[in-house]
Amino acid sequence: MGLLECCARCLIGAPFASLVATGLCFFGVALFCGCGHEALTGTEQLIETYFSKNYQDYEFLIDVIHGFQYFIYGTAAFFFLYGALLLAEGFYTTGAVRQIFGDYRTTICGKGLSATVTGGPKGRGARGPQRAHSWQRVCHCLGKWLGHPDKFVGITYVLTIIWLLVFACSAVPVYIYFNTWTTCQSIANPTKTSASIGTLCADARMYGVLPWNAFPGKVCGSNLLSICKTSEFQMTFHLFIAAFVGAAATLVSLLTFIIAATYNFAVLKLMGRGTKF
């Protein structure tokens, strides 16, 4: 079997669901972590500049923001590694499922690779089998880790539950900034509201961002409108929206991983192959 034919078989047996899920996972995590990190930095600057002049009022908030930023670093590293592992699991289990149904009789690390490596000139025939044996040993070791789709389903299910909480938390700052932006629209168009402009405020203390004894803690009227027109506010608002979209994309990718891995595991169990193949 030639190299091109082996690659063609690999593409035929590619786990497209896992490929789509991996792409969504990488895109979502990059968007969530990158935009979330910058949005938290922008929030810190807005609080320091407009809502409190006393460092002790927002000292705890800064510690929380820095903690979330470190959490973002760890989340990015973990999901990029786990996404690659799930993609490898998708290739491995999809190859086994296709082999059962007869659509993919040559596995990625099986006869096709051996034939490609050993089919060289006679002068290099002595080294061919040794290379094939080395590749097969690597694939055998990977198979011990990747041959358990039931474990991947369980781990991904737990991660999905955890990420649902992250997704819900990412909606909170979007809600706060949207309320502030809506208040600014009411100030900019006083004819659309019956309230006095001076009573329209954005109170950071109301959302738990600052303690109740923080001063001033809130900004009202034309001062709030001027804040909403700044590039810092607009950029931070849109960054939080992008982070929320990234969290949603990551959640969809995890659900896709669960569906694909569950299907492969169910087929293997129904065909009597168990969890090891």
Measure the N-to-C terminal CA separation of the chain; round to a whole number of Å. Answer: 24
Sequence-ordered strand ranges (E) for the chain: 201-203, 218-220
Is the preceding peptide bond at 216 cis, omega within 30 degrees of 0?
yes
Cα 28 to Cα 249: distance, rounded to the nearest angstrom: 5
The predicted structure's pLDDT at residue 199: 85
- Band the pLDDT of 9: cuts 50, 70, 90: low
Q: What is the mean pLDDT of residues 78-104?
A: 71
pTM for the whole structure? 0.76
Instruction: Mean pLDDT check: name the lowest of 95-99, 150-154, 197-201.
Output: 95-99
The predicted structure's pLDDT at residue 115: 34
Cα 163 to Cα 245: distance, rounded to the nearest angstrom: 13
The predicted structure's pLDDT at residue 250: 95
Q: What is the mean pLDDT of residues 218-222?
A: 91
Tell me the residue length of the chain. 277
Could you identify the residue written with the tokens 């009227």? 221
The predicted structure's pLDDT at residue 5: 58
Whether residue 172 is predicted with pLDDT greater than 70 in this model: the reply is yes
Whether residue 36 is predicted with pLDDT greater than 90 in this model: the reply is yes
Cα 24 to Cα 36: distance, rounded to the nearest angstrom: 17
The predicted structure's pLDDT at residue 226: 93
Higher pLDDT: 89 or 218? It is 218
